[in-house]
Amino acid sequence: MASRGTLPDERVSEVSRRLRSRCDAILGAVWFMPEARGPFPTLAARVACLGRVRGEVAAALLAPLHPASIASEVDDAWRTTDPETLLARRLDGATRYLAGAVGDQPDGIDRAVAVLRHTVEAGPRAGHPVFAGLRSLAWPGTPLGDLWRASDMVRERRGDSHRNAWTAAGLSSVEIQLLTERWRTRTNPGSTTADHMGWTVDEIGSALDRLAGEGWVDAAGELTDAGRAFRDGVELATDRQERPLVEALGDDVDELFELLAPWARAVVASAT
């Protein structure tokens, strides 16, 4: 295992992004489970690890979703349920879906859980509130439950790191969303997802004007070379905060990714 601080940024970026991708897919069971297609308050359940947090606080943590929609859902949820109930329902639904996709005891799961637990437990809590909330919970104590919980921790820790990075760069929620859409694809910038996240046409237009003023998008709303370099920098700042996890993973990285890959594919395939 490499000692702290010896890995180059390029390696930290590669491993942390691959880890996020694998764990995102496994975590995806919570988005694909039948409950998620009904009235289940998914956003409130996501922040339930923090307790009965107010909607406005949840909105600050779950950006770049539109804050009004987050605050409304979370405040509404606490009128009819409580964090402990949502946490239990979320875990139960996700693990049942995961079992349907990969089986109750897929080969190698005990080893994968051991590596993942060691990895996430090496992540500092400071500056990472949602991750810290998940760390405060007891481990589920079942192979699939622990696999899913560890994947949730990986995802939320990087999410916290990303929020730290783009807020430090002076961006608003809608601005980072619009930059990211253009950074990830070269398709027509009009095909955005910011509207799916609750942002209005006027809010999107105003944000694009601000980004154009910085030289990060052009008059047509397309990402400029300067904008791409700026957005690359935000991602690198995110990666660097994930260094403790990458260093904890150490020489187990290839083994873990080989174990996670078929499960990640199975969860995604089960949703199509």
Q: How do residues 197-231 score in pLDDT, each as one tens digit?
A: 899 999 999 999 999 999 999 999 999 999 999 99
What's the pLDDT at 59?
97
Give the closest residue to 227 by CA, choosing from 241, 213, 238.
Answer: 213
Domain that residue 194 falls in: 168-234
Residue 138 burial (CB count, 10 A) = 6
Same domain, 33 and 148: yes
* Average pLDDT for 19-35: 92
Report the domain count for the chain. Answer: 2
Dihedral of the alpha carbons of 100, 93, 152, 56, in degrees to the nearest 10: 150
Tell me if 3 is assigned to some domain: no
Same domain, 212 and 116: no
Same domain, 118 and 210: no
Same domain, 137 and 28: yes
Same domain, 116 and 37: yes
Q: How far is CA 164 from CA 60, 145, 167, 252, in A?
A: 11, 28, 5, 28
Tell me if 228 is assigned to some domain: yes
Tell me if 172 is assigned to some domain: yes
CB 205 within 8 A of CB 192: no
Same domain, 209 and 138: no
Tell me if 101 is assigned to some domain: yes
Tokens of 163: 């929020």
pTM for the predicted model, two decimal places: 0.93
Give the closest residue to 103 by CA, choosing from 224, 266, 234.
Answer: 266
Transcribe 186-206 into DSSP letters: -S-TTS-SGGGGT--HHHHHH
Is 13 exposed, middle or buried (CB count within 10 Å of its CB: 0-12, 13-18, 19+)?
A: buried
Tell me if 6 is assigned to some domain: no
Same domain, 140 and 178: no
Same domain, 147 and 262: yes
Same domain, 89 and 212: no
Tell me if 37 is assigned to some domain: yes
CB 198 within 8 A of CB 233: no
Q: Which of 27-41, 168-182, 210-224, 250-264 has the lowest mean pLDDT?
A: 27-41
Strand partners of residue 217: 223
In the predicted structure, residue 3 carries a pLDDT above the cut 70: no
Same domain, 260 and 131: yes
Positive/negative CA dihedral, 200, 202, 207, 208: positive
Provide, for the chain, the percentages of residues in helix, strand and coil under a 3-state DSSP scheme, each rounded to the nearest 5: 70, 0, 30
Same domain, 42 and 139: yes
* Average pLDDT for 180-186: 83
Residue 187: pLDDT band (50, 70, 90) is very low
Q: Which of 47-56, 119-128, 132-141, 188-197 has the lowest mean pLDDT?
A: 188-197
Same domain, 174 and 147: no
Tell me if 223 is assigned to some domain: yes
Residue 191: pLDDT band (50, 70, 90) is very low
Tell me if 5 is assigned to some domain: no
